[in-house]
Amino acid sequence: MFTYKNISSEDMYLKIENHLVFTAPNRDIEFIAVDGRDGEIVLDRQRYESVIRSIPCTLTPPSGMDIEQLIHNIHNWLSTDVKYHDFTWSGDPNFIYKAIVNEGFDTQRVLSRYGKTVLKFRFHPIKYLASSLTERSIANGANIHNPYNIPAKPLIRIIGNGNMQIHIGGELLDLRNVLNGITVDCESQTVTSANGQFTEFDKIFSYPFPTLKPGNNTIAFSDNVEQMYITPRLGALVS
């Protein structure tokens, strides 16, 4: 069973034919040939590519619903927008995947009340530990442990005023002239007011955005930080 957009496959009378298996994402690397030089130069774009997964399913509508109506319902569920949504499945219950459907699907009508289809999802290369997607209050000197080999890109919300320096596992986040508070999203690389309503890029004086490296990350901040909250977003490669 899987869920997408908070709707389960069972609610849509779909049954996965095979156990889900994900291919590990590829590192985005380009090999560049240079005249007169043996081999190639490796250009690492410091990112992983998305993973496309086809999920074969059977359709069995309930009594009182014909298969055409069920196909229509599934189409509306999957194809009403084009953006990533949460995807979970019973074989990996501790993680939340990000997925998008950007292709149509064909349905084979086997009988008037039975059919088969293949749903095609594009998955974000990182799956997120569900328990790490909840905001937590952080004390000065606290530690966040990242058990995975992928640096996490947290959401940081700070309450306070003035100039602030935050050290996250040895990386510096330098903020200046903050009024009431600020939110730093290290994944989308955006900086907004504490309530998220206004862009505040003029308040950040450091780059790159900090990450939670694999292992222990000590969090330390200056006195102008009254309260600090972090959503860690710990994640592993889809596999």
Residue 176, domain CATH = 2.60.120.860
Of the residues 74, 103, 124, the one at which a domain ends: 124
Residues 86 and 171 in one domain: no
Are 74 and 172 in a shared domain? no
Residue range(s) defining the domain that contains residue 69:
2-124
100, 124, 148: which is the final residue of a domain?
124
Looking at per-residue pLDDT, the higher value among 167 and 118 belongs to: 167
Same domain, 86 and 136: no
Same domain, 9 and 101: yes
Last residue of a domain, one of 71, 93, 124: 124
Q: Which residue has the higher pLDDT, 239 or 69?
A: 69
- The verdict on 35 and 107 lying in the same domain is yes
| Domain identity same for 20 and 98 | yes
Note the pLDDT tens digit of each residue in 114-128: 888 889 899 999 999
Question: Do 61 and 153 have their domain in common?
Answer: no
Indicate which CATH number applies to the domain containing 73. Answer: 2.40.30.200
How many independent structural domains does the chain possess? 2
What is the residue whose two structure tokens read 């130069």?
41
- Lowest average pLDDT, out of 41-45, 57-61, 102-106, goes to 102-106
Q: pLDDT tens digits, residue range 48-77?
A: 888 988 889 999 998 888 888 888 899 899
- Decide if pLDDT at 102 tops 90: no
Measured from the Cβ of residue 135, the count of other Cβ atoms closer than 10 Å reads: 13
| 145 and 35 in a common domain | no
Range scoring the smallest mean pLDDT among 96-105, 158-167, 173-182, 211-220: 96-105
Does 104 lie in the same domain as 181?
no
The answer to whether residues 116 and 207 belong to one domain is: no
Paired tokens of 199: 């862009």
User: From the CB of residue 75, how many other CB atoms can be counted at a distance below 10 Å?
Assistant: 14
* Residues present in the chain in total: 239
Please write the tens of the pLDDT for every residue from 192-230. Answer: 998 888 999 999 999 999 999 999 999 999 999 999 999
Q: What is d(CA 225, CA 218) in angstroms, rounded to the nearest whole number?
A: 16
CA nearest neighbour of 217 among 168, 150, 184, 173: 168
Q: Rounded mean pLDDT of the chain?
A: 90
Are 28 and 113 in the same domain? yes
- CB 136, CB 231: distance < 8 Å: yes
Same domain, 166 and 58: no
